[in-house]
Structure 1
Amino acid sequence: MIYVFREVAVNRDPASTHPKLSRGEIWRGLVMKAENALPFVPGLAKCDVVQRSPGSLVRDIVFRGEEAREKVTFYPEEKVVFVRQSGSIDGFIVNEILGEDGDLRLRFSFALQLLDAPSGSAREREFREVVEREYVKAVDATLDAIRKMVSSEHQSAR
């Protein structure tokens, strides 16, 4: 099993031209990402919601050519948990909003394993390198997409 996490300060650059993001804006972005991750996750080719229920949804995705089904559970303004239900990879991914408004952080963590490769194998090591690189990129891509959304809203309000 592969464990990886990445945590970034949301409003890290005080000189940035991007608007300062609030917990609510980040949360809205994470919900949008759960419903349609294509603008948020490089390497994702498909993201279709197939079922909705209070506090969760089920979606079919294609990531790096691999089909999978995920159950997504929402913990409002705190975290979103993605649990693999089918596909060649088992495990979960968590997107968390941490801290207070003055020091908000976004943490993505995951625990994944290839179902058809032994732990510690060369195939698992190669998988870790690729997946770690791709999932870590998703943190920055998610924040960039949320910032664009909020900037667009601020411009429309003018």
Structure 2
Amino acid sequence: MNFEHLIQINDPLNPLVPSMTRDQLWEGLVLRAEQPQLFVLGLDSCTILSRTGSTMERELHYGNATVRDHVTLTPNESVRYDIMATESYVGGSLTMTIEQPDNLQLFLRFEYRTTLPTADNEDVRQTSEIVKSAYRESDIDTVRLIRQFVLGDNRPEMVH
């Protein structure tokens, strides 16, 4: 199953939405990669197994389940998560890409590529729609938390 959607970060027509700079959005995306337990419900802990300038190998612990992934950071552009499939966890990838069509507008594109089957019957289609909705809600929450951490005063310490 493939799925993508766009979340508007800055809305020049709505003064009630605080604006973020591209650098602030990037800082939030890096924070999500380095400390995902602040963003992902049900994630108990994250261990960064190895790190280069632009990549991380991580181990994510959800109760008794462990998931490994590879994170690729393209500075001020995108973060890609490649999740290794296990018996109990769907593999695939998630890419979050910053899009800035002009100086006033800022968007974050979420692209999912999973090993879930494409919808070829009603049950699979309904399951697919539920998964897409969960992804969308999670991504909206990610943007809300980035706003809170980057623009608010309750920023966690960044670990480098």
Normalising TM by the smaller chain, what interval?
A: 0.7 to 0.9
Task: Give 1:82 deviation, angstroms.
Answer: 0.6
Say which SS state the counterpart of residue 149 (structure 1) adopts: helix
CA distance in 2, matches of 1:60, 1:74: 17
Counterpart of 1:106 (choices 108, 113, 116) is 108
Alignment of 1:2-41 (within 5 A): 2-12=1-11, 14-16=14-16, 19-41=18-40
Match for residue 142 of structure 2? 142
Structure with the higher helix share, 1 or 2: 1
Say which SS state the counterpart of residue 10 (structure 2) adopts: coil
Residues 9-56 of structure 1 show CA distances to partners (whole Å, capped at 9, x for unaligned) of 10136231x531000000000011011122223444443322211201
CA RMSD of aligned residues (A): 2.9
Unaligned runs of 5+ residues in structure 2 are: 155-160
**Are the equivalent residues in 2 in contact too, given 1:91–1:111 (CA < 8 A)?**
yes
- Scaled by the length of structure 2, the TM-score of the pair is 0.78
- Aligned residue-pair number: 150
Task: Give 1:122 deviation, angstroms.
Answer: 7.3
- Scaled by the length of structure 1, the TM-score of the pair is 0.78
Structure with the higher strand share, 1 or 2: 1
**Are the equivalent residues in 2 in contact too, given 1:52–1:58 (CA < 8 A)?**
yes
Unaligned runs of 5+ residues in structure 1 are: none
Once the two structures are overlaid, the 10-residue window that deviates more, 54-63 or 67-76, is 54-63
CA distance in 1, matches of 2:109, 2:70: 19
Task: Give 1:139 deviation, angstroms.
Answer: 1.8
Calculate percent identity across the aligned residue pairs.
25
**Are the equivalent residues in 2 in contact too, given 1:95–1:106 (CA < 8 A)?**
yes
Once the two structures are overlaid, the 10-residue window that deviates more, 103-112 or 132-141, is 132-141
CA distance in 1, matches of 2:74, 2:140: 21
Residues 85-104 of structure 1 show CA distances to partners (whole Å, capped at 9, x for unaligned) of 24231211100100143111
**Are the equivalent residues in 2 in contact too, given 1:46–1:62 (CA < 8 A)?**
yes
Say which SS state the counterpart of residue 106 (structure 1) adopts: strand
